[in-house]
């Protein structure tokens, strides 16, 4: 499936109650679909985003992160993230953008190193008592969600898209910045990276 293009204008509400326009009139939007609240692989990835947030913002990009969990559950894990986090427990946005679930999220061997790193990071944080809750044993919406990334111009054009093939298959910050570099944020489009 392909994302809607142009993306219809809407205002999303973050888990903290802030309004976020998508598309945004002055910025590119990196709309990323993650898995469940407390997902160790997602947490590891989002920490890499936060560590480079100044570079991302300097590139004219606004981060909007969607999870298939409730706002109440998400707030336990994302309160310290300086990102716009959106709860979509009914998967309305997931369906609109064609973001899927599948056993390959965890069974693909390419995901295993990230899963091991992420679980190790979470166990170490729990041992240090960093006040982070442990990942849920039964996550809302299940464990089999796949990630996806979309770069959206102010006019709603989808400049690039990536549908993850496993739990750790998403754009790195360097890939995101390369995709956004040099684009007229209102009108230019580049070939989409989509599934065959």
pLDDT at 185: 45
pLDDT at 105: 59
pLDDT at 172: 93
pLDDT at 165: 86
pLDDT at 121: 66
Instruction: Tell me the C-alpha to C-alpha distance, in Å, between residue 123 and each of 40, 80, 104, 132, 143.
Output: 10, 18, 24, 10, 18
pLDDT at 193: 44
Q: Which residues contact 97 (CB under 8 A, 6 or more apart)?
A: 3, 4, 31, 33, 148, 150
Domains of the chain, CATH where assigned? 10-180 (3.40.30.10)
pLDDT at 61: 96
- Its pTM stands at 0.80
pLDDT at 106: 63
Query: CB count, 10 Å around CB of 105?
Result: 24
Query: CB count, 10 Å around CB of 189?
Result: 16
Rounded CA separation 39/77 (Å)? 9
DSSP state letters, the chain: ----SSPPPEEEEBTTS-EEEES-SSSEEEEEE--STT-HHHHHHHHHHHHTHHHHHHTTEEEEEEESS-HHHHHHHHTT--SEEEE-TT-HHHHHHT--B-THHHHSGGGHHHHHHHHHHHHHHHHHT-SPPPPPSS-TT-S-B--EEEEE-TTS-EEEEEE-SSTT-S--HHHHHHHHTT--TTT---------
pLDDT, tens digit (0-9, with 9 covering 90-100), for 146-196: 899 999 999 999 999 999 888 788 999 999 999 998 675 443 333 344 433
What residues in the chain have per-residue pLDDT under 70?
Answer: 1, 102-115, 118-137, 139, 141-143, 182, 184-196
pLDDT at 137: 66
């Amino acid at each position: 499936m392909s994302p809607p293009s142009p993306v219809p204008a809407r205002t999303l509400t973050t888990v903290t109650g802030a309004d976020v326009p998508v598309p945004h009139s002055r910025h590119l939007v990196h709309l990323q679909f993650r898995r469940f609240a407390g997902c160790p692989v997602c947490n590891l990835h989002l920490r890499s985003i936060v560590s480079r947030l100044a570079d991302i913002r300097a590139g004219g990009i606004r981060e909007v992160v969607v999870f298939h969990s409730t706002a109440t559950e998400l707030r336990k894990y994302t309160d310290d993230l300086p990102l716009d986090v959106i709860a979509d427990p009914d998967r309305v946005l997931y369906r609109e953008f064609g973001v899927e679930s599948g056993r390959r999220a965890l069974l693909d061997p390419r995901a295993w190193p990230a899963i091991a790193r992420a679980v190790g990071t979470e166990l170490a944080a729990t041992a240090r008592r960093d006040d982070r809750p442990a990942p849920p044993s039964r996550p809302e919406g299940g464990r089999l969600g796949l990630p996806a990334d979309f770069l959206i111009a102010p006019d709603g054009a989808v400049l690039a898209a990536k549908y993850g093939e496993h739990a750790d298959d998403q754009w790195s910050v360097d890939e995101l910045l390369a995709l956004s570099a040099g684009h007229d944020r209102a009108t230019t489009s580049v070939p989409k990276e989509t599934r065959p």
